[in-house]
Structure 1
């Protein structure tokens, strides 16, 4: 039989098998709605956004812990914050001693888990104090003691509101060294500060609020930003190790088991095996392998910038570009200095000036220039260039 006919027949069979499984199998959901609290996960209940925000906030003073904390934390550290966000916290006795000594020496510990770390907390307050309980509800309202504003959280699973166990603390009256920092559903405590030696331990019962799904909503991001203001350390130690269970299943995951448990991945695996078999049937006798011609890597960043610039140039809508520059300027202030201006009022200008170390006069000049341009229906390229230069000057001067 002609070799080309065999190759064509094999390709036709492969395509037919693929189309059969593609058309007869149900599409699976795009998102994984399980609570992973994984810093690399961009799924709804991963902590990719929270991790990136904290990492950028602390800049070069950030350390990720991937080994037992007893190997890393020390009482010699000062002005530091230890942070763990996850379903639960798993500590050995040596880890607990290290964490307590770290806190006692004047540092801060921030733990956000669904389950109360009794072994740790009972070292700080009476064992009869602190009982964790829960509310079964689709949504819960959060607020901090320093701010009467309430932030409403609704639990979503598969794009639908579902019942969720919102944890809170009870029976804390007997703890003298404990302060309440936040509530859930008006009067149920979910955020506390326990003084220990020269340091503080903060415990929060609702880590779900730190996940990607909620941090993409600006109104809820404000709640997280206010909560993070309780910590004052300049160095951050982010613990990824202690939120993993000691059970061997966690460290001995079988990738093939997961692939075969997901219909799309399972059929992709079968098709891959089938394709490999086809390959060896028709190409096993090849004496010399094909040497591919590799194209040189190209940097398309400049081409992209030139294309976008050309499109804006063709449109000649300077007013639109000025509005876009202004939006980016406000976004820069929000994310770098945690200031959320609706309008650049004098008091907002003063706050931005203090944090950025840029003169108030420079900021006032930017605001007045934008107000002048915003009043116009059309603006000239000279006006746009002047406005752009003022903004760029601010970026270069800001700290």
Structure 2
């Protein structure tokens, strides 16, 4: 495939040929006009390669009486796509291709050759002649500021019909019979843009083109190939379907950036997870019970009670940070306030402590009552 001139590139880069584009280089007018030529329904829009779509669409894969429109600046195909297109046409369908450049893989299967140079400087604008004898002999449509297109240099005359010519009367629009169907090749896709069709009576040009396809009521519109400006390389070329939409393109780059940031920060050495510190449990009751069993069995009540007092005072110092050297009214008041115990209950414990510290002997009953007071203190304090 030959590259276009610099001047022509400057013009063609403004043409998207998209069915949604209402700008001069879009094909919105053509797409919206097609229903009036067929069954009143808009064409089915295809956004994947022809072969991939045919594998999933049973109509394209096995159907007949189908028309497929493909409008692009350059047509780049794979061998698989071309095989699928030819098989599609062979069954009795029509493939309408309008492009400034046609892939050599594609046109070689149609025994056709295209000029290496364009007609860019021949006229100040595009000029399309229709040579169908059923039409008026001077059927011609023009529009300035459109680059001239290429033209055919070799055609298989046994199965090719010339339908249109450029300003120099060189064939640029043909119909080629392939099996039971036909392939239409137009080397001037600019005449299908909004800029051309909305000029004077040029919409009639689209009607002349569509007239050759009457009788085909299932219509497809291609939105895949127009976004490929370089030869395809397998399935990876489908990434460009995502890249052509600004929102998806930004989302893709944002995803890549987030993955890079994640890899960067996660690659650093991570601190070992510090296990949760086990909350200290109150083992005072367990200690008192174990110690009490030992002394109670020996009936050494005074010694046992004093051990209970020592453990209790240690508990007060550790948990409530109170000085137990002096156990007076101020101590009782502060202990009651910190523990939430009634003042009378605290006074009862302190009175028992004073008694035990001075006694030489205490009864089992008194020891049990004192133990009950201490146990209630442990259970009910905050």
What TM-score comes out, normalization by structure 2 length?
Answer: 0.52
Whole-Å separation in 2 of the counterparts to 1:116 and 1:88 = 6
1:149 aligns to what? Answer: 138
- Choose which of 190, 215, 230 in structure 1 pairs with 2:212: 230
* 1:171 and 2:157 aligned: no
* 1:110 and 2:110 aligned: no
How many Å apart are 1:152 and its aligned residue? 4.1
> Following superposition of structure 1 onto structure 2, how do residues 69-84 of structure 1 map, counting pairs within 5 Å?
69-73=50-54, 74-84=60-70
Whole-Å separation in 2 of the counterparts to 1:172 and 1:189 = 10
Whole-Å separation in 1 of the counterparts to 2:30 and 2:41 = 17
Whole-Å separation in 1 of the counterparts to 2:155 and 2:198 = 36
How many Å apart are 1:75 and its aligned residue? 4.3
Whole-Å separation in 2 of the counterparts to 1:149 and 1:100 = 34
User: Residues 254 and 174 from structure 1, CA distance in 2 versus in 1: closer, same or farther, beyond 3 angstroms?
Assistant: closer
Whole-Å separation in 1 of the counterparts to 2:106 and 2:44 = 22
2:110 aligns to what? Answer: 124
Structure 2: unaligned runs, 5 residues or longer: 1-11, 55-59, 251-382
How many Å apart are 1:169 and its aligned residue? 1.9
User: Residues 122 and 63 from structure 1, CA distance in 2 versus in 1: closer, same or farther, beyond 3 angstroms?
Assistant: same
How many Å apart are 1:170 and its aligned residue? 3.3
SS of 1:120 mapped into structure 2? helix
- Choose which of 40, 62, 66 in structure 2 pairs with 1:59: 40
Asked if the contact 1:144–1:227 (Cα under 8 Å) also holds between the matched residues in 2, the reply is no
1:44 aligns to what? Answer: 24
Asked if the contact 2:46–2:222 (Cα under 8 Å) also holds between the matched residues in 1, the reply is yes
- Deviation string 1:167-220 (CA, Å, 9 cap, x unpaired) is 132322554322111111142111011111111000001111111122223411
Residues 36-45 or 174-183, more deviating: 174-183
Whole-Å separation in 2 of the counterparts to 1:81 and 1:176 = 23
Whole-Å separation in 2 of the counterparts to 1:55 and 1:119 = 32
Whole-Å separation in 2 of the counterparts to 1:117 and 1:226 = 26
Whole-Å separation in 1 of the counterparts to 2:213 and 2:245 = 39
Whole-Å separation in 2 of the counterparts to 1:76 and 1:61 = 21
SS of 1:96 mapped into structure 2? helix
SS of 1:166 mapped into structure 2? coil
1:95 aligns to what? Answer: 81
User: Residues 91 and 185 from structure 1, CA distance in 2 versus in 1: closer, same or farther, beyond 3 angstroms?
Assistant: same
Whole-Å separation in 2 of the counterparts to 1:186 and 1:100 = 31
User: Residues 250 and 142 from structure 1, CA distance in 2 versus in 1: closer, same or farther, beyond 3 angstroms?
Assistant: same
- Deviation string 1:49-106 (CA, Å, 9 cap, x unpaired) is 1111114544347311112221333341111101111112232222111111000111
2:201 aligns to what? Answer: 219
> Following superposition of structure 1 onto structure 2, how do residues 249-268 of structure 1 map, counting pairs within 5 Å?
251-252=242-243, 255=246
* 1:133 and 2:117 aligned: yes
Whole-Å separation in 2 of the counterparts to 1:173 and 1:65 = 29
What TM-score comes out, normalization by structure 1 length?
Answer: 0.50
SS of 1:54 mapped into structure 2? helix
Whole-Å separation in 1 of the counterparts to 2:245 and 2:66 = 37
- Choose which of 21, 26, 34 in structure 1 pairs with 2:14: 34
Whole-Å separation in 2 of the counterparts to 1:253 and 1:240 = 11
Cα RMSD of the aligned pairs, angstroms, is: 2.8
Asked if the contact 1:33–1:43 (Cα under 8 Å) also holds between the matched residues in 2, the reply is no
How many Å apart are 1:244 and its aligned residue? 1.9
Whole-Å separation in 2 of the counterparts to 1:254 and 1:209 = 25
Asked if the contact 2:128–2:165 (Cα under 8 Å) also holds between the matched residues in 1, the reply is yes
